[in-house]
Structure 1
Amino acid sequence: MNNLTLLALTLSVITIAALGLYALQLWRRIWAKEKAQAEALNTQRERIGGDLRILASSLLEGQLPLIEGAIRIKVLLDNYDSTLSQDPRCEVFHQLFAATAQVPTHAEWKALEKSVRRQHEQHFSALELQHKAAARAAARWLLDEALPAARQSA
């Protein structure tokens, strides 16, 4: 083997090794990003789960109006776990959400005439009477069975 062939072979091996190290470095970056994304999703999921526990408890204790609580729980459930959200025991939250979807909120609510607001409030009362037991049972089920227990901070 002559010197030129040996030099070309050496340069080839060095180039391959350098490219391999560069590829490893890129893969490590990808793995680090994937790990950070997974941790961010876990953190978000834990936060939403905590919010769901607070809402369900508040609904059960009467600290939150039934309609408002059901709407908030439904939206958070959709973001927390779509499979859990579609559980038949959570159907009442979807029913209340759908039954109130056309009701204006915030500034639009304040802009409504009092008679229209009263009609909506009467509708809310009827919905509460019809769905109170089911909503409370669903909130209890979420707290007792569906949502994992909150982590205790040390």
Structure 2
Amino acid sequence: MDFSEWLMIGGLLLIFLLAGYAAWLWYQVWRRRQQRMQQTHERNQRLAGDIRLLARGLCEGQVPPIEGAIRIKVLLDNYDGPRRANLNLAIFETIYDATAHIPTHESWKALPAAQRRQHEEYMETLEQQHRDALHRAAQELRSGLI
């Protein structure tokens, strides 16, 4: 064999090695994509279960309406799975937006009592205004998003 034949064999060997490496890399990408899809599916199942649980708690009076609405809205924002087209969930957005200015956690504890009472009265008014719509939306979610 002369030099050009060795060069051609070496070139073909290099092509096969690079093709094998490219196939291995593509397999890694496919496997990671499958894992990500599985993780997303599992996350959506957990979120859907949490949403149903909160909705049931709202319907049964186990969760304060404002807190439940805010929690459900945040979970719905993170949920990107399938849902029924006829779900009317605007009330959760309405409650969330109406209470966005109210401090939480440590900021709430730091408020003077008079200011806390003002916010509590405002939340009670919101609850009374939206009680029926909130209950209807929670009833819809109680059976699931699909």
**TM-score for the superposition, normalised by structure 1:** 0.86
Per the alignment, residue 115 of structure 2 pairs with: 116
1:110 Cα shift?
1.4
- What does 1:4-153 correspond to in 2, within 5 Å? 4-81=3-80, 89-144=88-143, 147-148=145-146
Task: Kindly indicate whether the alpha-carbon contact (under 8 Å) linking 2:82 and 2:145 is maintained by their aligned counterparts in 1.
Answer: no
SS at match of 1:103: coil
- By relative contact order (CA 8 Å, sep 6+), the higher-ranking structure is 2
CA displacement, residues 22-75 of structure 1 (integer Å, 9 cap, x when unaligned)? 111111111111111111111111111111111111111100000000000011
Q: Distance in 2 between matches of 1:16 and 1:82?
A: 43
SS at match of 1:63: coil
Structure 1 runs, 4 residues or longer, greater than 4 Å off: none
Q: Calculate the aligned-residue CA RMSD, in Å.
A: 2.0
Per the alignment, residue 152 of structure 1 pairs with: none
Question: CA separation of 1:142/1:100 partners in 2, compared to 1, >3 Å: closer, same or farther?
Answer: same
Task: Kindly indicate whether the alpha-carbon contact (under 8 Å) linking 2:73 and 2:93 is maintained by their aligned counterparts in 1.
Answer: yes
Q: Distance in 2 between matches of 1:54 and 1:127?
A: 22
Q: Distance in 1 between matches of 2:110 and 2:82?
A: 37
Q: Distance in 2 between matches of 1:83 and 1:124?
A: 32
Give the percent of matched residue pairs that are identical in Structure 1 and Structure 2.
Answer: 40
Task: Kindly indicate whether the alpha-carbon contact (under 8 Å) linking 2:53 and 2:142 is maintained by their aligned counterparts in 1.
Answer: no
Task: Kindly indicate whether the alpha-carbon contact (under 8 Å) linking 2:55 and 2:141 is maintained by their aligned counterparts in 1.
Answer: yes
Task: Kindly indicate whether the alpha-carbon contact (under 8 Å) linking 2:44 and 2:81 is maintained by their aligned counterparts in 1.
Answer: no
Which amino acid in 2 is paired with 1:92?
I
Task: Kindly indicate whether the alpha-carbon contact (under 8 Å) linking 2:72 and 2:92 is maintained by their aligned counterparts in 1.
Answer: yes
**TM-score for the superposition, normalised by structure 2:** 0.90
Q: Which moved more, 1:89-98 or 1:61-70?
A: 89-98
Which amino acid in 2 is paired with 1:70?
A
